[in-house]
Amino acid sequence: MKQKKIKDFPYQALIKPIPFISAFLLFPVLSFAQANTPTSTSTCGSTFYIVSDTTNLIFPNSAVTPGPDGSGNAWNSAGYNSATASGWSQAVTVNPLNPGWTAACSIAGSGVTPYWISSTTGSGSVAAGSGNYYYLEYFSLPAGAVVTNATLTIAADDGNQDGEPMSVFVNGNSISVPNVTWSTCLSFTVPASDFNAGSDILAIEDGNQYGDSQGVNYTLSYTVACTTTTPTPTPTFTATITFTSTNTSTPTATPTPTATFTPTATFTATSTGTPTSTPTSTFTPTPTETPCGYPGDTCTPTPTPPNEDIFYVSKNVFNPSNPVSIYVNYTVYPGQYALRIYNSAGEHIKTLDDRPLSGPVSQWYSWDGKNKYGDTCASGVYILYLMEPLSEKINRILLVR
């Protein structure tokens, strides 16, 4: 940091000859002390679980691959928005199980329960038809999380044990899948590098070439690292100036040097001759400016706050008598901004906000489960679609009447 020179300090007043004083010498001594005050913030993660349940979406019994979304993204790629594509519906749990199916692939101690899911609620032994079945699950990593390891435990009918197609993708990255069967839960590693900070998507394709029952169940577990960030310490400078003068003649006057200076100074006069009076030297500091970083002053730079991008939903399940609250914080502008609600079939339900941004957004929204006509919506999964100038996000909520 370049020091700012103080022009108003009258150094010449202290070294100008004073009547009846033959020598008046000043020796300024500057001393600096630096104190660092570092602060630390920690974000420690744990193990998280994503399971097969009714929050999954399904594109059932199809001889064709699902079409791209409204932005042209493929069904298994990062950023795919099923709300702007057609053919997707909410998966259902299959009960009772096909007699040959294994129990759900749960993980002890996870606190979550996976289910066999498919497109119909009938018995697992009822033929669901041949063709390929596609499954989607959206999830988000905690803020600042870095995945260190991940495992997918899965069973599927038909799976790929008899040569049928079976594919798994995380954010568009293809995962090497061994022989998946309906009778045993199989676990394999998912590369940690496939996960994204923020919104993620798990996509599964399962072929059903024999025309009998169809379903999958899985648990995806991933562990995040504990990261510690220590920002650059803010230096605090403390300066002390001491002036010492020596009088070697017989003073007969009382000199009063006056300085205009911010730091506190100590002035000491010592007489070694035969004085006829008591000299008193007065140093009167008068603050006229406060330079940043000059000795005796504390300069604390104000950090520039980072861009905060928040899309928060207060609950995953709600009813019309207890509306869901939504909070958006976004600092990048200009650009188009919108918050819309779609049902699981991709039909537009209601627009909560739609406008061009001329400044940052920090706003709460509330939805009571009613559509744009004021009618209460049916029970089911609804998709919150947030469009921002540089990104798009989705969250899903379940309305229960």
CATH number, domain with residue 340: 2.60.40.1930
Could you tell me if 214 and 99 lie in one domain? Answer: yes
Q: Provide the pLDDT confidence category of residue 197 given band limits of 50, 70 and 90.
A: confident
The confidence score (pLDDT) of residue 170 equals 95
Phi then psi dihedrals of residue 133, to 5 deg: -115, 135
Could you tell me if 201 and 85 lie in one domain? Answer: yes
Whether 242 is in a domain gets the answer no
Which residues form the domain of 368?
310-399
Q: Provide the pLDDT confidence category of residue 102 given band limits of 50, 70 and 90.
A: confident
Could you tell me if 338 and 190 lie in one domain? Answer: no
The confidence score (pLDDT) of residue 158 equals 74
Examine the fold and report which residue of 178, 213, 228 is the final residue of a domain before the chain moves on: 228
Examine the fold and report which residue of 211, 228, 245 is the final residue of a domain before the chain moves on: 228
Question: Number of structural domains, the chain?
Answer: 2
Could you tell me if 209 and 322 lie in one domain? Answer: no
Could you tell me if 190 and 326 lie in one domain? Answer: no
Examine the fold and report which residue of 228, 246, 269 is the final residue of a domain before the chain moves on: 228
Could you tell me if 318 and 200 lie in one domain? Answer: no
For 358, residues 6+ apart whose C-beta sits below 8 A from its C-beta are: 333, 334
Whether 147 is in a domain gets the answer yes
Whether 83 is in a domain gets the answer yes
Could you tell me if 172 and 318 lie in one domain? Answer: no
Q: Which of 94-103, 224-233, 282-291, 308-317 has the highest mean pLDDT?
A: 308-317
Whether 243 is in a domain gets the answer no
Q: Which of 125-129, 197-201, 215-219, 332-336 has the highest mean pLDDT?
A: 332-336
The confidence score (pLDDT) of residue 86 equals 86
Dump pLDDT digits (tens) for 157-189: 777 766 778 899 999 999 988 888 878 899 989
Whether 253 is in a domain gets the answer no
Find out whether 397 and 382 touch, Cβ atoms under 8 Å: yes
Task: Enter the tokens of residue 162.
Answer: 């008899």
CATH number, domain with residue 82: 2.60.120
Q: Provide the pLDDT confidence category of residue 379 given band limits of 50, 70 and 90.
A: very high
Whether 20 is in a domain gets the answer no
Could you tell me if 224 and 327 lie in one domain? Answer: no
Whether 283 is in a domain gets the answer no
H, E, C per residue of the chain: CCCCCCCCCCHHHHHCCCCCCCCECCCCEEEEEEEECCCCEEECCCEEEEECCCCCEEEEEECCCCCCCCCCCCCCCCCCCHHHCCCCEECEECCCCCCCCCCCCCCCCCCCCCCCEECCCCCCCCCCCCEEEEEEEEEECCCCCCEEEEEEEEEEECCCCCCCCEEEEECCEEECCCCCCCCCCEEEEECHHHCCCCEEEEEEEEEECCCCCCEEEEEEEEEECCEEECCCCCEEEEEEEEEEEEECCCCCCCCCCCCCCCCCEEEEEEECCCCCCCCCCCCCCCCCCCCCCCCCCCCCCCCCCCCCCEEEECCCEEECCECEEEEEEECCCCEEEEEEEEECCCCEEEEEEEEEECCCEEEEEEECCECCCCCECCCEEEEEEEEECCEEEEEEEEECC
Could you tell me if 201 and 327 lie in one domain? Answer: no
Could you tell me if 86 and 212 lie in one domain? Answer: yes
Query: In percent, how much of the chain has pLDDT > 70?
Result: 63
Whether 88 is in a domain gets the answer yes
Q: Provide the pLDDT confidence category of residue 281 given band limits of 50, 70 and 90.
A: very low
Dump pLDDT digits (tens) for 46-80: 898 999 999 998 888 666 889 999 999 999 998 99
Dump pLDDT digits (tens) for 234-257: 555 555 555 555 554 555 455 555
Could you tell me if 89 and 222 lie in one domain? Answer: yes
Find out whether 360 and 330 touch, Cβ atoms under 8 Å: yes
Q: Provide the pLDDT confidence category of residue 306 given band limits of 50, 70 and 90.
A: low
CB count in 10 Å sphere of residue 328: 21
CB count in 10 Å sphere of residue 36: 9
The pLDDT mean for the chain works out to 76
Could you tell me if 202 and 327 lie in one domain? Answer: no
